[in-house]
Amino acid sequence: MAVVEIKVTASGGGDIPCIAAHPVVGRSTAVVIVPPIFGVNDDMAMVAERLAAEGFTGFVLDPFWRDEDQGVLDHDEAGRARAFARMERTPFEQAFGDVADVIENLRTRDASNEKVAVMGFCYGGPFALVAAAKCGIQAGFSYHGSFIDQHLNAMPDVACPLSFHWGDNDRAAPLDVIDVVKKTFSARDDAEVIVYPGGIEHGYMLPGHGDAYNEIAAEKSWERTISLLNEI
């Protein structure tokens, strides 16, 4: 499933750069993927392609397209500094507006079955939660999500299943923060927090994160994700 470049019109003006991978045949559930602060890199293309291979449309948007420092950034010290700086310059509500625009666009496409899920990695994690509260999506997924605890006030309006995944040694989401999320999610029977033991680090889902990548935990996350997507 080749990845293609697509632009989606933003409600505030301009075009949101995206990449997408489509399944071979039939109408499909679309999965909007919100990337980490490093941008729409090879890891994100891999995620889109893997979803397409499972029969879903994988659609990655670039939340930083308006910024002066655009594109994919490296994982080295300089790249991390640039990535955090542009994250700070990008208001959450502005980026979330792009996510909402992409969701609505995907619902109207000929190949769509009108079902949409949102999947967030690292920085992208909170978007899955807020979209579940505000956009009428069918499921929300987060992997080593950052700042989830800052958006838990959205939980009363969530109307779909949530599946959030972390390692037990996540520098961006310590266990005490994960416990707060887990306690909030426990009020619902369709919201789960899964923590993988064994020193699993931030970025464990993505090969581009080097030594943090953990294939065993990643495959367990994929297994749960595909299972839930097949249920919606």
Neighbouring-strand partners of residue 182:
none
The whole model's pTM is what? 0.96
Question: Residue 161 and residue 130: Cα distance in Å, rounded?
Answer: 13
Compute the radius of gyration of the chain from its Cα atoms: 16
Beta strands in the chain (DSSP E): 4-9, 15-21, 28-34, 57-61, 112-121, 139-143, 162-169, 191-201
Which residues sit opposite 16 in a β-bridge? Answer: 8
Q: Phi and psi for 19 in degrees, rounded to 5?
A: -125, 155
Is pLDDT of 25 > 90? Answer: no
Instruction: Please compute the mean of the pLDDT values over residues 198-221 and round it to a whole number.
Output: 97
Using the predicted structure, report yes or no on whether residue 212 has a pLDDT greater than 90: yes
Per-domain residue ranges for the chain?
4-231
Between helix 125-134 and helix 92-107 the angle, nearest 10°, is 60
Q: Which fold has domain 4-231?
A: Rossmann fold (3.40.50)
User: Residue written as tokens 């750069």?
Assistant: 17
141-147 — which CB contacts under 8 Å span 24+ positions? 141/117, 141/165, 141/225, 141/228, 143/119, 143/204, 143/205, 143/221, 144/170, 144/172, 144/173, 144/202, 144/203, 144/204, 144/205, 145/120, 145/121, 145/173, 146/122, 146/172, 146/173, 147/123
Closest CA to 151 of 130, 120, 133: 130
Share of the chain above pLDDT 70, in %: 100
Mean pLDDT of 92-119: 94
**In 6-24, which positions are buried (b, 16+ CB within 10 angstroms) versus exposed (e)?**
bebebeeeeebbbbbbbbe
What is the C-alpha separation between 69 and 119, in angstroms, rounded? 24
**Mean pLDDT throughout 188-192?**
96
pLDDT band at residue 27 under the 50/70/90 scheme? confident
Give strand pairing partners of 57: 30
